[in-house]
Amino acid sequence: MKLINLDIATPEKKIFSGKVREITAPGIKGEFGVLSEHAPFTTILAPGVVEIIYEDGKKELLAVSGGYIEVNREKVILLVETAQKEEEIDIETIKRRKEEKEKLLKGKDKKDIDYDKTQIELFKEISKLKAYETLQRRKKV
Amino acid sequence: MATLRTIRKRIKSAKNIQQITRAMKLVAAAKLKKAQERILSARVYADKIKEVIAELISGIEEKEYPLLCENTEIKKEAFILITSDKGLCGSFNSNLLKEAIYKLRECNDLNLILIGKKGFDYLKKFNKEVEIFKYNDKRIDWYDIEEIGNLVINNYLKKKYKKVNLIYSEFQSSLQQKIKKEVILPIKVEELKQGKIEKRDFLYEPDEKTVLNALLEKYIKTVLLRVILESQASEHGVRMVSMEMATNNAADIIKSLTLLANKTRQAAITKEILEIVGGAEAIKG
């Protein structure tokens, strides 16, 4: 089976570069799969799950929060804002942190700068939680 | 004249200061390296987006893209200032703030977006509308950028701002700091057109306009991320240099104080010998 070169980059760093067998990504107009020799094409990605099947048939799910994909003759370039791998998500810690932040927020004054900071941190935890939930849902299907 | 004891005390405190500044210099050097790595690793994404935009942007009607044209009928401007959180980095912040004050005088109707505590603390007293404030530390990440970016873009699209200005410190080398003033919105098409413009035979889904619009938004955010990372690198670079200078100054002070201490010690000994000799003469006589 022919393989495709895949590059995944987030604004902060390159997270993957190598050969894969298949990619499934949530396009803005619906999910699509890419195999080798796909016609050149680009689209905007919606938030969702990217599925990668590696050379050895191993499957990996990535929760992404939107991005851009380009499929050209040589390779596939996937630019995503954030990408969470399943094994990187420690659900218990996230839940605990989320609760801590929520508790902190209740005790704070809204005008406080720390309030804003805590709220953003809470938002981060929530978005990680969402990523995890999407992954779980996807797994069941 | 200072006594030997006070001089020795001063030497000791100068040595302590030297130790601290030397440690700070080393820390800044390590942080600078990390910040540079962050800039490099962020480049992959930004370059790709720029490339695709360059490809799509040729031959479009600029008026159709609100992010590309200035809202001429509005007076209010937004102003993003990126400073550092901490001091002890020479004139890093004061240079930036000087530019900021200049801008404040020039334009009355401003909305401030402040990244970095120093700028916030300083500009507080001007009673301007602060739209958003963020700490500029190493924890700043894509979520923060997204928040700032979305706010700026949405306000711009709602025609709240005429344009969005940006003042930051560009990273060149650790020896110099270059203050940069840029207009990030509207996006200057000419800048993006550079490089190869040949259009590839591609399918754009849903269509080129949607893709380009989404990419332009992403582009703004990557610019924001880049300038924040650059200003951090620049901050560490400047701090490294100024701590180096402080260490050298401390060495100079220690040197001259040691000289003074030795002289005082010698003077005291000479005085004592003279006294003894004088005493002995008196007994003899």
ipTM for the whole complex: 0.73
Q: Which of B133, B143, B210 to mutate to test the interface with A (most CBs of A within 10 A)?
A: B143
* Cis bond upstream, residue B206 (ω within 30): yes
Domains of chain B: 22-242 (3.40.1380.10)
Q: What is the dihedral of CA B105, B109, B112, B117, to 10 degrees?
A: 40
- Out of B142, B146, B211, whose CB is closest to A42? B211
Over the stretch B186-208, which tens digit does the pLDDT of each residue have? Answer: 888 777 776 656 666 777 877 88
Q: For residue B141, list chain A residues with Cβ-Cβ distance below 8 A.
A: 12
Asked whether the beta carbons of B153 and B222 are under 8 A apart, the reply is no
Asked whether the beta carbons of B82 and B97 are under 8 A apart, the reply is no
The arithmetic mean of pLDDT across residues A127-135, rounded, is 74
Contact B215 A72 (CB under 8 A): no
Sign of CA dihedral B105, B106, B109, B115: negative
- Out of A13, A42, A113, whose CB is closest to B204? A42
The CA distance from B264 to B189, in Å, is 71
Q: What is the pTM of this model?
A: 0.82
Contact A9 B49 (CB under 8 A): no
Task: Tell me what pLDDT residue A112 has.
Answer: 65
Residues in A whose CB is inside 8 Å of some CB of B read 7, 9-14, 27-29, 39-44, 68, 70, 72, 77, 79, 81-82, 113, 116-117, 120, 123-124, 127
The CA distance from B268 to B257, in Å, is 16
Searching chain B, which residue's CA lies closest to the CA of residue A113? B133
The arithmetic mean of pLDDT across residues B256-270, rounded, is 94
- Out of A27, A29, A40, whose CB is closest to B201? A40
Over the stretch B126-137, which tens digit does the pLDDT of each residue have? Answer: 877 777 888 887
